[in-house]
């Protein structure tokens, strides 16, 4: 039995979405079987749209624009693409992780939210949560815009999927969907907010702040 120790994997280039799904599925099963360590996997995908288990067909507004995939996670429609740091998190929730209690899915999602907000603070951005709206939001002028989407799946207490933080993606690519089913608010990114952060800098902040939240 391998002790639950979190390892990190950073993949350069663009990772095929179906490849990522298969790897996450296999890794989650191995963690549950005690034959693999927990994993945080940082990557970028080519442009694509993914549908969560609550996705409405009508919220896919341009089906021909990019490939679409059934993600199997919670949530609705999400865009992934270059300039967006995706973090897939595979943890064994039967164990306590830092400030996140064992077997507490809501606590785990709240931990992901704190992780992102603390990371954004590193770059001088105030990220906020909103009741009834999963993800992290930024107030710009009179508007609220989403900067990070969160969608998870938990299989036999092992997590997979995770979050997508907008570093410098092409924001017009979100126009082909209603992101997370929310029509009244837009999306933003670090670059859109005037923060010139490299992906390496974002990765370093994510790793440092993950330890602060999850131990």
Token pair listed for 133: 């709206």
Counting the structural domains of the chain, the total is: 1
For residue 82, tell me if it sits in a domain: yes
Model pLDDT for residues 69-91, shown as the tens digit of each residue = 999 999 999 999 999 999 999 99
For residue 1, tell me if it sits in a domain: no
For residue 161, tell me if it sits in a domain: yes
SS3 readout for 133-194: EEEEEEEECCEEEEEEEEEEEEECCEEEEEEEEECCCCHHHHHHECHHHCCCCEECCCCCCC
For residue 102, tell me if it sits in a domain: yes
Model pLDDT for residues 86-136, shown as the tens digit of each residue = 999 999 999 999 999 999 999 999 999 999 999 999 999 999 999 888 899
Which candidate in 48, 91, 180, 182 is catalytic?
Answer: 180
Q: Give start and end residues of each alpha helix (H) in the chain.
A: 17-33, 105-122, 199-214
Burial 95-119 (b: 16+ CB within 10 A, else e): eebeebeeeeeeebbebbbbbbbbb
pLDDT for 183 equals: 84
Q: Give helix 199-214 / helix 105-122 axis angle, nearest 10°.
A: 140
pLDDT for 55 equals: 95
Model pLDDT for residues 134-191, shown as the tens digit of each residue = 899 999 888 999 999 999 999 999 999 999 999 999 999 999 999 988 888 899 999 9
Place of tokens 């005037």: 194
Q: Count Cα atoms within 13 angstroms, Cβ side, for 162.
A: 26
Per the model's pLDDT, the better-predicted residue between 180 and 197 turns out to be 197
Q: What's CA 137's distance to the chain center, in Å? A: 13
> How far, in Å, are 51, 94, 107 from residue 118 at the CA level?
27, 25, 16
Closest CA to 45 of 166, 147, 158: 166
Q: What CATH number is given to the structural domain containing 117? A: 3.30.930.10
* 180 in catalytic set: yes
Q: What's CA 149's distance to the chain center, in Å? A: 6
For residue 68, tell me if it sits in a domain: yes
For residue 122, tell me if it sits in a domain: yes
> How far, in Å, are 35, 70, 119, 142 from residue 75 at the CA level?
29, 11, 23, 26
Domain containing residue 93:
6-214
Q: Helix (H, G, I), strand (E, B), or coil: what is residue 207? A: helix
């Amino acid at each position: 039995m391998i002790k639950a120790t979190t390892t990190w994997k950073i993949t350069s280039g663009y990772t095929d979405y179906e490849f990522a799904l298969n790897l996450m599925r296999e890794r989650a099963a191995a963690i549950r079987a005690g034959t693999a360590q927990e994993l945080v996997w940082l990557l970028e995908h080519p442009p694509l749209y993914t549908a969560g288990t609550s996705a409405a067909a009508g919220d896919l507004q341009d089906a021909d624009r990019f490939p679409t995939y059934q993600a199997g996670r919670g949530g609705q429609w999400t865009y992934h693409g270059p300039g967006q740091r995706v973090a897939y998190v595979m943890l064994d929730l039967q164990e306590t992780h830092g400030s996140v209690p064992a077997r507490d899915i809501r606590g785990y999602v709240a931990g992901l939210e704190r992780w992102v907000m603390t990371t954004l603070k590193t770059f001088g951005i105030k990220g906020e949560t909103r009741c009834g709206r999963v993800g992290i939001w930024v107030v710009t002028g009179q508007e609220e815009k989403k900067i990070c989407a969160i969608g998870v799946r938990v299989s036999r207490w092992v997590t997979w999927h995770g979050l997508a933080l907008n570093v410098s993606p092409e924001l017009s690519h979100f126009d082909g969907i209603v992101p997370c089913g929310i029509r009244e608010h837009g999306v933003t990114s670090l670059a859109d907010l005037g923060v010139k952060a490299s992906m390496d800098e974002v990765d370093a902040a994510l790793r440092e702040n993950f330890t602060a939240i999850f131990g």
